[in-house]
């Protein structure tokens, strides 16, 4: 059975969709733009020809990153910190949740 929605509710629902869609697009568009720049060749990116689609597709930026030892080192440090932080947080949560679950 389909419930008939009132006009104010439909207007409110449309307004919600428009606002949330605008917020979502404003979060996604910069990421797409950065990805398009990283996949374009350097001359097109510097000249400002790249918007949302890569111009003169190239993987030079990623090749440069993988060659640099500093980047690989920073990735390993980040991974180690995430794993260590997750383990420490899980231990702390268990140590605090157990006493809080007991009644006196």
Percent of the chain with pLDDT over 90: 70
Q: What is the pLDDT of residue 5?
A: 86
R_g of the chain computed on alpha carbons: 24
3 Ramachandran zone, left/alpha/beta (phi>0; psi -120 to 50) = beta
Domain boundaries, the chain: 1-58, 68-104
Whether pLDDT at 104 is above 80:
no
CB 53 within 8 A of CB 37: no
Confidence of residue 102 (pLDDT cuts 50, 70, 90): confident
Instruction: Decide if pLDDT at 71 tops 70.
Output: yes
> How large is the average pLDDT for residues 57-78?
92
Is the confidence at residue 35, as pLDDT, over 80?
yes
Q: Residue 57: phi, psi to the nearest 5?
A: -45, 130
Using alpha carbons, select from 7, 27, 3 the residue that is nearest to residue 15: 7
Is residue 62's pLDDT more than 70? yes
Rounded CA-CA distance 104/95 in Å is 17
């Amino acid at each position: 059975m389909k419930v008939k929605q009132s006009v104010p509710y439909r207007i409110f629902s449309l307004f919600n969709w428009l606002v949330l869609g605008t917020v979502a697009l404003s979060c996604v568009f910069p990421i797409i733009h950065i990805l398009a720049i990283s996949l374009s060749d350097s001359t097109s990116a510097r000249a400002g020809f790249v918007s949302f689609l890569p111009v003169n597709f190239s993987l030079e930026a990623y090749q440069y990153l993988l060659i640099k030892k500093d980047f690989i080192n920073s990735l390993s440090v980040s991974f180690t910190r995430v794993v260590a932080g997750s383990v420490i947080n899980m231990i702390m949560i268990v140590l605090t949740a157990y006493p809080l679950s007991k009644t006196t």
